[in-house]
Chain A
Amino acid sequence: MTLIKVENLTVEFGTDEGRIVAVDDVSFEIEPGKVMGLVGESGSGKSVTAKALMRLNPDNASYGPRSRITLQLDSGSVDVFSLKSTRDMRIVRGGSVSMIFQEPMASFAPAITIGSQMVEQLMLHRDMTRREARELSIEMLGRVGISEAAKRFDQYAFELSGGMRQRAMIAMALSTRPKLLIADEPTTALDVTIQAQVIDLMKDLVAEFGMGIVFITHDLGVIAQTADMVAVMYLGRIVEYGPVREVIRNPAHPYTQGLLRALPDLGDLDARLTPVPGDIPSPLERPAGCVFHTRCPRFMPGRCDAAVPGMTTVKPGHTAACFAVEDALVAA
């Protein structure tokens, strides 16, 4: 059973400088208890994709006509784009879908204690009494490894350290028992030792609560350590998609290969770092055809800059959007 199914998601932004295609024809699905990693560099559209799941993109965003996001709940399936009123949208905002951010301060109101914010949210989404909500909140704070949870309950977000804040945010996001958790660069602002703590915590929580997670990051190492499936995004498109072991060990798309080569590896200190040539084009100047062709070592003129390659299955479950990969498969 899939938990959420994203089909042909296209998101455009109307700006002063013109229309920007942030996400282009993206499809994927997530199963309960699985972590789906969305990895990409700046301008890849990974955050916009995640926000689309909760309809959180700003007003100048427009969704393509073929875009569909279907959320599977116990009570039946919900088409996210058909939700109209703010009341209906509560299902995907903090109800069945929760989100944690890179900067935890952003999700806490500065003038309200962490506890009362959690309680308010629980009363809204889970029909609890204030007392029940308080007990559950303190339990959740303890569960994510916050010491003296009852004391922290009455503190403000700014009184906590960065790592504690991140934990408190996770506790808040999980207390409503979401089916799906969207984690937008949850460890990027943290130091490595704290990042390791948070990654461990999230893995434990998936095992315990069995929710699906969309994990957005630019760090392939973090993806390798957390995700089950991974989608590599570049300039709004998924260029490669598959199980994390497959994609990292046998990357098919030239971009994924380039990213992995550019990454310093502690296992081999002598390996020369190989940058991906060129710069990421500005979203205002998306290349025609395959979006990666301007930097691709396997660029085929007349083909890659003319047509958009479709997803080719490299192995069952592992797909890549590249003409060179297509050719190699045909030849084999």
Chain B
Amino acid sequence: MAEIADTSIPVESEAERRRKEAYFTASQSQLIWARFRGNRSAMIALVALIAMILMGLFAPFLSPYDPTIAGRDRDYENGAPQIPRFWDENGFSLRPFIYGTARTRSIETNFRWVTTIDRADRRYLEFFVEGWEYSLIDLRLDIPGTSYDIHLRALTFDTHLFGVDAGMIHLFGTDASGKDIFGRTLHAIWTSLAVGTIGVLISFVLALVIGGVAGYFGGWLDSVIQMITDAVRTVPVIPLFMAIAAFIPQTWSSEMRFFFISCVLGLIGWPTLARRVRTHLLTERSQEYVLAAQLSGASSSHIIRRHLLPSFTSYIIVDLMISFPYMVRAETALSFIGLGLKDPVNSLGALLQNVSKADVLLNYQWYFIPVIFFIALVLAFVYVGDGLRDAADPYENLKK
């Protein structure tokens, strides 16, 4: 026993030594990741976020029906969600099934369509079924005029994850025109993410250039840029959007509208980000190690590349993460008040708009399912952003 105990001590200290050496030679991103991983809520949010991004990315594959009017179910308008089950009073089935439905309308139902479930009619779930055709890359640019229109399609498939052997399946129910809410939700996540990405990218590029110039050169240029930034920040958002809504020609396609909205969001979103870029630069530029590089005769480009950019990429990623939900929310809010994307387009805002009718509140509560996804998406971004922010400066408590 004593011999075993003797050998176990150096083994443990060897592991300890290696753990320490790993910490001592850990780069910034490794330290940030180690700190982020320790944050439980941020990790859960990250998993949820990745799941939702994947859902959006593979929305056509995951949704059994085309989320536009082309894929509507005429026989199941305003239909309730259909949950696949394995057993009922008629027995057990290894293959999950749903029931067939029939619609009737008579004087007894005040001439409303009433759906009845036929529990004898089992419709079995099938996987990897062939259905409507979709392209994972589907780029369509409709610039007014025809000469520059681009329509690029690639990776076209018609396989979908699941379907039923007869009729149609609607996991989240259908809306008034019989469109599948499940498919619409998945596509809407993608639309909202895309609007957010374009918006964030535009504002980020503007912020980086404007804030970067102000922060790096300073002086009177900085003062002027600060004034312009402040002026842009004072522009009231809602009236601006109403003006823009009036300006958008009715003839524009939904894609065009969508792109325009993203650009507008980006163009008004930059000042906050620019300010943060400037502040990071100002603090970083006066760091002693930057002076040390300057005293070695390092050029501006060397200092920017070697010191300034690495020092604030972590902050920039955090800022991007944090501003993302604002973009998603702004798009949603705009669409909700009718200034942004309109119903045929699948965006979370457009889906939310459907919820505002009293009829829906009373009779068709499944319209709320996209709302849950909207909340989850924003929360996931906020938590991941917070976690990153806490982890972004791994050196703060190393200083005395």
Residues of A at the B interface (CB closer than 8 Å) are 16, 42
Contacts and interface: CB of A to CB of B under 8 A. Distances in A.
Contact of A42 (B35, B38, B400): B400
Secondary structure dominating the interface of A = loop
Interface string B20-42: 00000000000000010010000
Contacts of A16: 35, 38
A316 to B, nearest CB: 38
| Closest 3 A/B residue pairs (Cβ) | A42-B400, A16-B38, A16-B35
A53 B400 CA distance: 23
A234 B137 CA distance: 66
If over half of B's interface residues share one DSSP class (helix, strand or loop), that class is named, otherwise mixed; here it is: loop
A42 B400 CA distance: 9
A71 to B, nearest CB: 31
A16 B400 CA distance: 16
Nearest to A42: B400
B6 to A, nearest CB: 16
Interface of B: 35, 38, 400
B400 to A, nearest CB: 6
A42 B38 CA distance: 28
Contacts of B38: 16
3 contacts: A16-B35, A16-B38, A42-B400
A42 B35 CA distance: 26
B38 to A, nearest CB: 7
Contacts of A42: 400
A188 to B, nearest CB: 13
Nearest to A285: B20
B18 to A, nearest CB: 15
A42 B399 CA distance: 12
A211 B249 CA distance: 82
Nearest to A284: B20
Nearest to B20: A285
Contacts of B35: 16
Contacts of B400: 42
A81 B35 CA distance: 34
A42 B398 CA distance: 13
B301 to A, nearest CB: 37
A16 B38 CA distance: 9
Nearest to B23: A17
B368 to A, nearest CB: 40
A52 B400 CA distance: 20
Nearest to A16: B38
Nearest to B38: A16
A16 B397 CA distance: 11
A144 to B, nearest CB: 30
A216 to B, nearest CB: 16
A154 B35 CA distance: 47
A16 B35 CA distance: 9
A103 to B, nearest CB: 14
B395 to A, nearest CB: 14
A16 B398 CA distance: 12
B12 to A, nearest CB: 15
Nearest to B16: A285
Nearest to A17: B397
A202 to B, nearest CB: 26
A119 B400 CA distance: 35
A167 to B, nearest CB: 27
A16 B31 CA distance: 13
A240 B35 CA distance: 39
A58 to B, nearest CB: 13
A16 B394 CA distance: 12
A286 to B, nearest CB: 15
Nearest to B35: A16
A39 B295 CA distance: 38
Nearest to B400: A42
A301 to B, nearest CB: 16
